[in-house]
């Protein structure tokens, strides 16, 4: 599918100009093709509604769906409760001995907020949040001679 150079140049301009991007997004959201064409003309780009549709279809076909894009920004965080445990165990007052919670979030702050929602009574003591790099675990079966 061949896309008009004028359409590609307009899309580039939309990405580079915040005001134009907002106007374009609003018109695209309401499926207002005439407004998009007028925005393009005002910036010196001339193309037809059909060329615009072809360009939008092409962009839609090459981009991942929004959920995949959203997941690119999500990271895994290991979050540990700072408050001492109320029961006697290995991690009672030793944070390094605790397993922690593995939280999917887009930032450390969001991970902290998720922990605060789980343990609202412990927000004063807070939580230790570390960005976590996952790793592959190989499970091997060990057999004993009986």
Q: Identify which of 138, 119, 139 has the alpha carbon closest to the alpha carbon of residue 129.
A: 119
Q: What single-letter DSSP state applies at residue 52? A: H
- Give me the pLDDT at residue 20, please: 95
The span from the CA of 119 to the CA of 105, in Å, is 17
Once rounded to an integer, what is the mean pLDDT over residues 32-36? 95
Least confident window among 61-70, 118-127, 133-142: 133-142
Query: Of the ranges 40-49, 78-87, 126-135, which is most confident?
Result: 40-49
Of residues 63 and 107, more confidently modeled:
107
Domain assignments of the chain as residue spans, ordered by start: 5-63, 71-131
Once rounded to an integer, what is the mean pLDDT over residues 84-95? 64
pLDDT, one tens digit per residue, over 35-64 is 999 999 999 999 999 999 999 998 888 876
Which residues lie below 8 Å from residue 43, measured CB to CB, with a gap of 6+? 10, 13, 20
Alpha carbons within 13 A on the beta-carbon side of 62? 6
The DSSP annotation for 81-136 comes to E-SPPSS-STTSS-GGG---EEEEESSHHHHHHHHHHH-GGGTTT-EEEEE-----
Instruction: Please provide residue 6's backbone torsions phi and psi, each rounded to the nearest 5 degrees.
Output: -65, -40
pLDDT class of 145 with cuts at 50, 70, 90: low
For residue 92, give both structure tokens.
């009672």
For residue 134, give both structure tokens.
């996952």
pLDDT class of 129 with cuts at 50, 70, 90: very high
pLDDT, one tens digit per residue, over 109-121 is 999 999 999 999 9
pLDDT class of 7 with cuts at 50, 70, 90: very high
- Percentage above 90 pLDDT, the chain: 47
């Amino acid at each position: 599918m061949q896309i008009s150079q004028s359409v590609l140049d307009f899309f580039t301009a939309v990405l580079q100009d915040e005001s134009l991007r907002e106007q374009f997004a609003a018109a695209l959201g309401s499926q207002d093709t005439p407004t998009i064409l007028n925005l393009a003309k005002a910036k010196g780009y001339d193309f037809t509604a059909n060329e615009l549709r072809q360009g939008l279809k092409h962009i839609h076909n090459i981009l991942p769906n929004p959920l995949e894009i959203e997941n690119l920004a999500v990271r895994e965080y290991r979050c540990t409760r700072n408050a001492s445990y109320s029961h006697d165990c290995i991690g009672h007052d030793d944070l390094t001995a605790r397993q922690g919670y593995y939280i999917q979030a887009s930032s450390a702050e969001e991970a902290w907020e998720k922990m605060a929602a789980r343990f609202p009574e412990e927000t004063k003591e807070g939580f230790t949040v570390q960005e976590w790099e996952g790793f592959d675990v190989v499970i091997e079966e060990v057999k004993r001679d009986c």
